[in-house]
């Protein structure tokens, strides 16, 4: 007996949903699912794409490689539509989608067991390590480092020992941080130093119980932001792709306009503060000490009008008189959002608020607070720099109504 159902929409994590409410992993809108067989069989529709990676779906880095670009862009917009307090604004810009092989930072795991080294990503929701031969997300420079890194770690790790790998592609080369890899003794230091030289690393650091130690710095890793060269701390937070960063920065600049006095909250290394400082005086705040220090040094050297403050905005949001006189406030919090800061802004007279978010759910909560406080969401820029992932980013402009 036939039990054929069509996939009519996608859940927040990318599972297909049939008209009668059944969830089907790895199904796209337009697919049909035959539930008369066990397991149910997916009959691909017009937007079902072949996976770009041999490790999909075991590897937990991607959830949506079975969608073509048209369906993926629709997923991004639908993901935002569900959380916005008043639907998509009239001025909703096209989704900025980062290309394959553009990820410039990655965190991987390694494990040596029975003399064999596995290196890759954890399967979603488990501790199982998927040993990757190729990743269509990683920049070619990072991907090329993985084979020699396997040889290094196989020689340096004991059986049963795991390690963490953080790779960042700076403007000056790769910044590599190894966790739980011994740098004790002359032989270990020489092996790691030789590896850095052989593969032209900008910097190699190790992290152990006592913290992070930089063993080799052949060149200071830097990034250029808004025309300013910023020195990078070890394993810094930066936007995952250059294309994604460019899209976010262009959106923030457009949303801020020609404002003269701007606050950049949760500023990090200055991704927005430095481009904004080309035409505005900027107050930049963040709790991340190394990032704030790097931003301060870079801004002073460049003669930019950036006042940098080290401040925990979760505990002490910018509020009251501190917000007076600001033309625009930009805030770009972590995934948890910035509820306390949103409430302080909702009680303020700041004319324009620009929210940058990497989590539609927390953004929806914070946006609701701003709207209930008298702001209107007037423009939205969706950004999908984590290609094939359910991870969605955005920039939104809120204007206070008179």
The mean of the pLDDT values for the chain is 96
- Dihedral sign, Cα of residue 330, residue 333, residue 339, residue 344: negative
Is 229 within 8 Å of 298 (Cβ atoms)?
yes
Cis peptide leading into residue 251 (ω within 30°): no
Element (H, E) at 238: none
Q: And the tokens for 147? A: 């084979």
pLDDT tens digits for 329-374? 999 999 999 999 999 999 999 999 999 999 999 999 999 999 999 9
Told to judge if 358 belongs to the known catalytic residues of this protein, a careful annotator would answer yes
pLDDT of amino acid 1: 59
Distance CA 393, CA 383 (A): 5
pLDDT (mean) for 317-330: 97
SS3 170: strand
Distance of CA 250 to the CA centre of its chain: 17
Q: CA triplet 12, 13, 19: central angle to 5 degrees?
A: 65
pLDDT (mean) for 175-203: 96
pLDDT tens digits for 277-299? 999 999 999 999 999 999 999 99
Is 212 within 8 Å of 234 (Cβ atoms)?
yes
pLDDT (mean) for 248-259: 98
pLDDT of amino acid 229: 98
pLDDT (mean) for 377-395: 96
pLDDT (mean) for 78-85: 91
Is 305 within 8 Å of 341 (Cβ atoms)?
no
Element (H, E) at 75: helix 69-81
Q: How confident is the model at residue 123 (pLDDT cuts 50, 70, 90)?
A: confident
Q: What percentage of residues in the chain have a pLDDT greater than 90?
A: 94
Q: How confident is the model at residue 125 (pLDDT cuts 50, 70, 90)?
A: confident
Distance CA 255, CA 285 (A): 19
pLDDT tens digits for 129-161? 999 999 999 999 999 999 999 999 999 999 999
Element (H, E) at 140: helix 140-156
């Amino acid at each position: 007996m036939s039990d054929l159902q069509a996939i009519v929409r996608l859940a927040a994590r990318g599972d297909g949903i049939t008209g009668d409410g059944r969830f089907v992993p790895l199904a796209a809108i337009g697919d049909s699912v035959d539930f008369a067989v066990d397991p149910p069989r997916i009959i691909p529709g017009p937007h079902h794409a072949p996976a770009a990676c041999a490790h999909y779906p075991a590897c937990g880095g991607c959830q949506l490689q079975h969608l073509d670009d048209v369906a993926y862009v629709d997923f991004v917009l639908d993901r935002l539509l569900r959380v916005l307090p008043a639907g998509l604004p009239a001025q909703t810009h096209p989704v900025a989608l980062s290309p394959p092989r553009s990820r410039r930072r990655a965190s991987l795991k390694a494990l040596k067991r029975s003399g064999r080294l596995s290196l890759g990503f954890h399967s979603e929701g488990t501790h199982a390590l998927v040993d990757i031969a190729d990743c269509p997300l990683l920049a070619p420079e990072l991907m090329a480092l993985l084979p020699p890194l396997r040889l290094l770690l196989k020689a340096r790790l004991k059986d049963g020992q795991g390690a963490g790998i953080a790779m960042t592609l700076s403007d000056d080369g790769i910044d590599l941080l190894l966790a739980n890899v011994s740098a004790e003794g002359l032989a270990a230091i020489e092996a790691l130093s030789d590896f850095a030289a052989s593969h032209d690393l900008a910097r190699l650091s190790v992290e152990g119980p006592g913290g992070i130690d930089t063993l080799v710095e052949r060149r200071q890793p830097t990034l250029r932001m808004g025309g300013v060269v910023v020195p990078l701390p070890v394993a810094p937070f930066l936007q995952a792709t250059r294309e994604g960063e460019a899209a976010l920065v262009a959106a923030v600049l457009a949303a801020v306009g020609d404002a003269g006095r701007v606050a950049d909250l949760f500023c990090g290394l200055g991704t927005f503060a430095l481009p904004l400082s080309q035409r505005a005086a900027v107050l930049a705040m963040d709790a991340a000490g190394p990032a704030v220090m790097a931003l301060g040094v870079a801004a002073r050297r460049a003669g930019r009008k950036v006042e940098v403050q080290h401040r925990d905005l979760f505990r002490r949001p910018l509020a009251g008189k501190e917000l007076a006189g600001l033309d625009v406030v930009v805030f770009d919090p972590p995934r948890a959002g910035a509820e306390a800061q949103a409430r302080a802004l909702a009680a303020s007279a700041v004319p324009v608020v620009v929210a940058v978010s990497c989590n539609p759910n927390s953004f929806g909560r914070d946006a609701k607070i701003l709207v209930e406080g008298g702001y209107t969401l007037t423009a939205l820029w969706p950004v999908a720099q984590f290609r094939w992932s359910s991870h969605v980013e955005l920039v939104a402009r809120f204007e206070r109504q008179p």
